Structure 1
Amino acid sequence: MLLTGAQILVECLKEQKVDTIFGYPGGAVLNIYDELYKNSEHINHVLTSHEQGASHAADGYARSTGKVGVVVATSGPGATNLVTGIATAYMDSVPMVAITGNVPVALLGKDSFQEVDIAGITMPITKHNYIVKDIDDLADTIREAFYLAQEGRPGPVLIDIPKDITINKTEYVKKVPQKVEKREEIKDSTSLDEALALINESKRPFIYAGGGVVTSNASEELIQFAQTIKAPVACSLMGKGGFPGEHPLYTGMVGMHGSKASNIGVTKSDLLIVIGARFGDRVIGKADSFAKNAKILHIDIDPAEVNKNIMTYRHIIGDVQVVLKKLNSQLEEMKRKEWIEEIETLKIKHALKYNDDILSAQYVIEKLYDVTKGEAIITTEVGQHQMWAAQYYKYNKPKTFLSSGGLGTMGYGLGACIGAQVGNPDKIVVNIAGDGSFRMNLNEIITAVRYKLPLIVLIMNNHVLGMVRQWQTLFYGERYSYTTLDQDIDYVKLAESFGAVGFNVTKKEEVEETLKKAIEERRPVIINCEIDKDDKVWPMVAPGAAIDNIMLGD
């Protein structure tokens, strides 16, 4: 069948069972958009307000559904506007395919109008990328891109397609996509026996679970593993939801804003079992003091992460779900009563606390959990509100907490919220934001209104860049350099001007009723919560300090 490049692209998307893409049209992708118009009954295209918003929407769609997120942008500035979203997905191992247009092949490298070397720009932040210079290579390139985005450790892949490739014709033969299989092999089989011996010998095992647990769908296996070996479990930010937040063995986050039970537990453990995590600097703090009493057993699919930041005692390279299944099949239930009681005492003694006399973000988030019965999908921007959302909403299921962990992208949450709501139309989806982050991409409220998405934006409005101000208070002599946002913005009027619904919350007594009203609206809602500018995220470990050296804000 003789088809144009644009037609081949759309047919390949259909091969991959892509039913939703996010994007923004432009000159270099006009032929692609013409074919999307003709195939609108097969592929739902969500037009965002900005390409960055489209990239975050594709990311949120992927994280919440487990499918590949797809984003399309034109050449030049359209392509470069995707860069932050691609880097966000790369840092957090999110499967995404970014499709960009470019100038015709003959004009590449000649500083043509709206030309950039987007493949060169994104090389460090993609699993792989392509410039398709021959129409005969297009179909197989698209198929390979989707496979690579999902196989092993997921991540973003970029396909750059010059405009003349979308016009040229070649024979297209439909193919069944290569099935993405889990990697069943474990690179060193003896490491399993060594791991079992370490677990059986340990008196104080502790589990540190990361985003790999969520990515590999290993939540049930992790629960069984922890219950069998009687080990407390702490999560990284990306691991939230990988282990139930209400489980008796759960101790909270670990690291800079981790719970005291988690940080002390890691420090006191004699065996730290690290599952699908990369030892980020915000977790380990002072590297030579991290888990100083423990042998470290690291389980991860990516060998590049092993011994990168922290030296391990033993490691297992393999898919987390596969490895846990093999371990579970060979373990017998253990008894570690004294260790569990010690951790439980720490949890009770050092439970999270906040000033209950005033309206606070912590109170709002706890009420949100109650009102939604813990069933919502939560996205966040980046800052204090992000940490409060991680601490005070209990995530009992994977793929319900979507946040930019590795890159820390302010402006991520609203786009991700749109993507998650599109992918999960029957779910309550809430973006927890700070006023600083919200301003970065608030134009995407227009997108939510256009598509009648019943998402909720919950702004924790302290009129400052809260996390930066917190650091300025603690480490910079209270010199608040350009962190005060003193514009008096009426967020209710802002919401209404876009066609959304707005609420102001200034008292604790208004929170529950307002949240219930917002859910009942079934259309985009912005809730502005006025909180104190000097409220801080506690606990906190100072940068470079050992994680058991914890400031509690007393």
Structure 2
Amino acid sequence: MDRPYRAVDYLISSLHQVGVRHIFGVGGANIEDLYDAAHHSAGAVRAVVAKHEFSAAAMADGYSRTTGRLAVAVSTSGAGAMNLVPGVAEAYASRVPLLAVVGQPPRPLEGRGAFQDTSGLAGSFDAYRLFSSISRYCARVDDPAELAPALADALTATRTLPGGPAVLLLPKDVQQALLTDPPPIDELLAVRHAPVAASVARERAADRLTELAGESVLVIAGDEVARRGARAELAEFVAALDARVAVVPDGKDVFPNHDPRFVGVAGVIGHPSVTDALRRARLCVLVGTRLPVMARGGLDALLAGTELVCFGAEPAFPDPDALHVDGDLRAELRAVTARLRAAGEAPPPPAEPDLRHLSVPPFEGEGMRLRDAVEAIAAAVPDRATVVADAGNAAAGVIHWVPTPRDGRFVVALGMGGMGHSLGAGIGAALGTGNRSYVVIGDGGFLMHGMEIHTAVEHDLPVTFVVVNNNAHGMCVTREQLYYDDAYTFNEFRPTDLAAGIRGMFPTLTVTHARTPDELRAALAASGAARSPAVVCVDVSPREIPPFVPFLNHLDTVSTQGAPHDQPVVAVG
């Protein structure tokens, strides 16, 4: 028996046509019709139910960052829509292509006391105005006939430079409306496609880079390289330029971390070897990054005295007037690389990498040392896996000490820097890539959104959750310790046995409480040998100083605990 063809059926079918295979969300009365359409798609689009809408957006975010594909998050109206906001804001700040579909009450009830009314009528607040401020495109679809063009506009906006999220607000009665012969989405997208013109600065940049052949050059690469699928072009460009390469924290996987040209991560969680390379450089080339504070902290003085060239959709923060090549990133890199190769053959790469780590104060307190824990993680993570760092001290350790796996991915959400984002992102990454995700999160982030473990269990996903428990909001404790005379704390808590609690909640889940680095390595190896989720809990101290340049520089200026650091003080964190 043929079913009536509803607006939601068109939406699911169109999303499938553009490559969407999963939607992430939480159900509710004003989005349930979309789930019904997913059910009737016969598995073409799989609906994943999260425990919280923020995590649904994080799942979509992690899915997109690791695959380069469009991701979709959905929510019902009211509180569900509001819970989606910080995840959409992260995607906006980090330019992640994401479509958010947000249900709304039926049109006849709006402005008349509808439950969860966000129409802006009769004293209700306006969801359109809210989501418009955190998206590249937002449309409220009040006419079912307008769904197709609105969807096409939304999908186009997610990819139009600089990229980011788009939002469709769909009243329930519009979702249920019957459609007759709606236009195919591929036809609508085709007429909206506009090739990106070649940058007018391309030849100037190629001329300058050719002139400096043989000089020391540092390339700092960022997350736009991943979004534009330009990893191969970046590698060819770097080789032709004979440059050393640093990466920004949220673009850590855009260049092989084991390559001899790699000098580390730039910024406040970065490596002194990046500072060394920038100090030697005649020219600094930014590729796919604007170099925000988290990625340039400690480097401003050197950047001010170094010539800068920027390849990417948006101008550089350190010098908006620097030479800026703003066309399609892949095309621009290919063109300039061809010019460099025509000018002469570059020398071979160095025999050994020049990667130098920060020196952190020794710590002999209770629990495992953070560095020992994250180095055990680094040793256990296999090729092609995804490492997902959360926020705070544990994330700083992972960003600094854990390299991106060979042919793998590394995810950290620094647009908004929200605690707990990694749980959803790791799930989305596992669904998108099919490879195991290793999520490293502190107890603070876990206590915010840790119930997403339930989602991993429900879908039997290859995700290893490493919970680094210091019974504190660790970075806040460090700030109290360093900046407020260690006179009090609001951020240390009573002890928790997270492993016992998780084991009790999820009896089929493998849960390990690792008390030594050897136990941690063994637990990680066991989880990697399976296809199911696993949790490993590790106890560390909140009093240990993480590899975070502002903290270490503060120690250098006020005590003898710290080791010498040549990055200047940065007001971050």
Please give the TM-score of this superposition, normalised by the length of structure 2: 0.87
- AA aligned to 1:105 is R
Secondary structure at 1:430's aligned position in 2? Answer: strand
Contact 2:292-2:317 at 8 Å conserved across structures: no
Aligned to 1:274: 286
Mapping of 1:294-443 within 5 angstroms? 294-302=306-314, 306=315, 308-332=317-341, 333=344, 347=355, 359-395=368-404, 400-425=409-434, 427-443=435-451
Contact 1:130-1:158 at 8 Å conserved across structures: yes
- Report the Cα offset of residue 246 of structure 1: 0.7
- Report the Cα offset of residue 518 of structure 1: 2.1
Contact 1:60-1:419 at 8 Å conserved across structures: yes
- Report the Cα offset of residue 146 of structure 1: 1.9
Aligned to 2:28: 26
User: In structure 2, what is the Cα distance between the partners aligned to 1:390 and 1:473?
Assistant: 23
- Report the Cα offset of residue 123 of structure 1: 1.4
- Report the Cα offset of residue 409 of structure 1: 1.0
Secondary structure at 1:233's aligned position in 2? Answer: strand
User: In structure 1, what is the Cα distance between the partners aligned to 2:363 and 2:294?
Assistant: 28
User: In structure 1, what is the Cα distance between the partners aligned to 2:194 and 2:35?
Assistant: 34
Aligned to 1:225: 237
Sequence identity (%): 23
Q: Which moved more, 1:172-181 or 1:317-326?
A: 172-181
User: In structure 1, what is the Cα distance between the partners aligned to 2:495 and 2:424?
Assistant: 24
Contact 1:26-1:74 at 8 Å conserved across structures: yes
Contact 1:61-1:419 at 8 Å conserved across structures: yes
User: In structure 2, what is the Cα distance between the partners aligned to 1:544 and 1:502?
Assistant: 38
- Report the Cα offset of residue 511 of structure 1: 2.0
- Report the Cα offset of residue 95 of structure 1: 1.1
Mapping of 1:152-231 within 5 angstroms? 152-177=161-186, 178=189, 183-188=195-200, 190-201=201-212, 203-231=215-243
Secondary structure at 1:395's aligned position in 2? Answer: coil
Secondary structure at 1:81's aligned position in 2? Answer: helix
Secondary structure at 1:291's aligned position in 2? Answer: helix
Secondary structure at 1:441's aligned position in 2? Answer: helix
Aligned to 1:38: 40
User: In structure 2, what is the Cα distance between the partners aligned to 1:215 and 1:399?
Assistant: 15
- AA aligned to 1:219 is R
Mapping of 1:72-151 within 5 angstroms? 72-110=74-112, 112-116=114-118, 117-151=126-160
User: In structure 2, what is the Cα distance between the partners aligned to 1:118 and 1:196?
Assistant: 49
Q: Which 5+ residue runs of structure 1 have no aligned equivalent?
A: none
Q: Deviations over 1:1-35 (max 9, x none)?
A: 97332232223223323221111211112332332
Contact 2:136-2:165 at 8 Å conserved across structures: yes
- AA aligned to 1:141 is A
Contact 2:65-2:226 at 8 Å conserved across structures: no
Q: Deviations over 1:361-383 (max 9, x none)?
A: 32233233322334311112111
Check 1:184–1:10 CA distance in 2 against 1; reply closer, same or farther (3 A cut). closer
Check 1:195–1:539 CA distance in 2 against 1; reply closer, same or farther (3 A cut). farther
Aligned to 2:559: none
User: In structure 1, what is the Cα distance between the partners aligned to 2:553 and 2:158?
Assistant: 34
Aligned to 1:51: 53
Secondary structure at 1:17's aligned position in 2? Answer: coil
Secondary structure at 2:303's aligned position in 1? Answer: coil
Aligned to 2:63: 61
User: In structure 2, what is the Cα distance between the partners aligned to 1:264 and 1:200?
Assistant: 23
Computed over aligned residues only, the root mean square deviation of the Cα atoms, in angstroms, reads: 2.9
Q: Deviations over 1:463-518 (max 9, x none)?
A: 22122222222222224431112232342332341242211111122122111122
User: In structure 2, what is the Cα distance between the partners aligned to 1:436 and 1:370?
Assistant: 25
Contact 1:464-1:485 at 8 Å conserved across structures: yes
Check 1:465–1:75 CA distance in 2 against 1; reply closer, same or farther (3 A cut). same
Aligned to 2:528: 519
- AA aligned to 1:532 is S
Mapping of 1:537-552 within 5 angstroms? 537-538=546-547, 540-541=549-550, 548-549=567-568
- Report the Cα offset of residue 534 of structure 1: 1.9
- AA aligned to 1:407 is M
Contact 2:156-2:193 at 8 Å conserved across structures: no
Q: Deviations over 1:155-211 (max 9, x none)?
A: 1111000111122223233515236979552231x5423443245326321111111
Aligned to 2:248: 236
User: In structure 1, what is the Cα distance between the partners aligned to 2:263 and 2:40?
Assistant: 52
Q: Deviations over 1:406-457 (max 9, x none)?
A: 21010101111111112233x1211111111111101111111111123110
User: In structure 2, what is the Cα distance between the partners aligned to 1:439 and 1:247?
Assistant: 37
Contact 2:300-2:318 at 8 Å conserved across structures: no
- Report the Cα offset of residue 110 of structure 1: 4.9
Contact 1:207-1:232 at 8 Å conserved across structures: yes
Aligned to 2:121: none
Aligned to 1:444: 452
Aligned to 1:262: 274
Secondary structure at 2:486's aligned position in 1? Answer: coil
Check 1:399–1:96 CA distance in 2 against 1; reply closer, same or farther (3 A cut). farther
Contact 1:463-1:533 at 8 Å conserved across structures: yes
- AA aligned to 1:193 is R
- Report the Cα offset of residue 135 of structure 1: 0.9
- Report the Cα offset of residue 106 of structure 1: 3.5
Secondary structure at 2:513's aligned position in 1? Answer: strand
Contact 1:219-1:242 at 8 Å conserved across structures: yes
- Report the Cα offset of residue 137 of structure 1: 0.3
User: In structure 2, what is the Cα distance between the partners aligned to 1:208 and 1:287?
Assistant: 12
- AA aligned to 2:410 is F
Aligned to 2:561: none
- Report the Cα offset of residue 313 of structure 1: 3.1
Secondary structure at 1:82's aligned position in 2? Answer: helix
Please give the TM-score of this superposition, normalised by the length of structure 1: 0.90
User: In structure 2, what is the Cα distance between the partners aligned to 1:530 and 1:139?
Assistant: 52
Q: Which moved more, 1:214-223 or 1:537-546?
A: 537-546
Q: Which moved more, 1:176-185 or 1:99-108?
A: 176-185
- AA aligned to 1:175 is P
